């Protein structure tokens, strides 16, 4: 006995039936049609805390973040593809957190908020590049923007302004 899915696949395996399939003339637009200024419908927002109370959402987050966090980070020279010794932040970005924890919460922030933040704790003396950083929770970060709201002019961690470069500044990761 075959399941419905397999019966359909068997039926379409015949060449005559396959050629009789027609494309839809006016396909339905499946985008989010309700977010317009005319009908004032806005989809409900769900907070991270509310989402984590749903067992399936929490399990999916655990699987995704846990899997990505266990993938070893490799360091290659872009021009030649040669594998080179990574800087210390690739092995462990934060002195206070194992690499797995830093990556896990970074992925969690990307999934739940679309943005993740690392705060630079150390830089290399030679060129000022990041040497150490730690993950910062999204609920601790706010920011100010310019007039058309396109460029961040200042970040704040726990309400305190942080520098825009160097030690104490934020690195942002965005899902897009």
Distance CA 113, CA 106 (A): 10
> What is the per-residue pLDDT across 63-109, written as a single tens digit (0 to 9) for each?
999 999 999 888 888 899 899 988 888 888 998 889 999 999 999 99
> What is the per-residue pLDDT across 117-142, written as a single tens digit (0 to 9) for each?
999 999 988 888 899 999 999 999 99
Structure tokens at 141: 């970060």
Query: Both ends of the chain: CA-CA distance in Å?
Result: 45
pLDDT at position 107 is 94
> What is the per-residue pLDDT across 12-24, written as a single tens digit (0 to 9) for each?
555 555 555 455 5
Domains of the chain: 33-174 (3.40.140)
């Amino acid at each position: 006995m075959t399941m419905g899915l397999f019966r359909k696949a068997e039926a379409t395996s015949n060449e005559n039936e396959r050629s009789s399939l027609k494309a839809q003339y006016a396909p339905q637009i499946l985008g989010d049609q309700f977010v317009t200024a005319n009908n004032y419908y806005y989809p409900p927002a769900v907070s991270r805390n509310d989402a984590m109370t749903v067992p399936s959402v929490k399990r999916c987050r655990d699987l995704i973040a846990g899997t990505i966090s266990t993938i070893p980070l490799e360091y290659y020279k872009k021009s030649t593809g040669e594998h080179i010794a990574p800087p210390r932040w690739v092995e462990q970005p934060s002195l206070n957190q194992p690499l797995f924890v830093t990556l896990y919460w970074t992925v969690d922030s990307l999934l739940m908020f679309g943005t993740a933040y690392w705060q630079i704790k150390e830089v290399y003396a030679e060129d000022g590049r990041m040497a150490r950083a730690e993950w910062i929770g999204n609920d601790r970060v706010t920011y100010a923007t310019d007039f058309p709201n396109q460029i961040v002019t200042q970040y704040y961690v726990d309400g305190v302004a942080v520098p825009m470069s160097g030690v104490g500044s934020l690195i942002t990761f965005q899902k897009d």
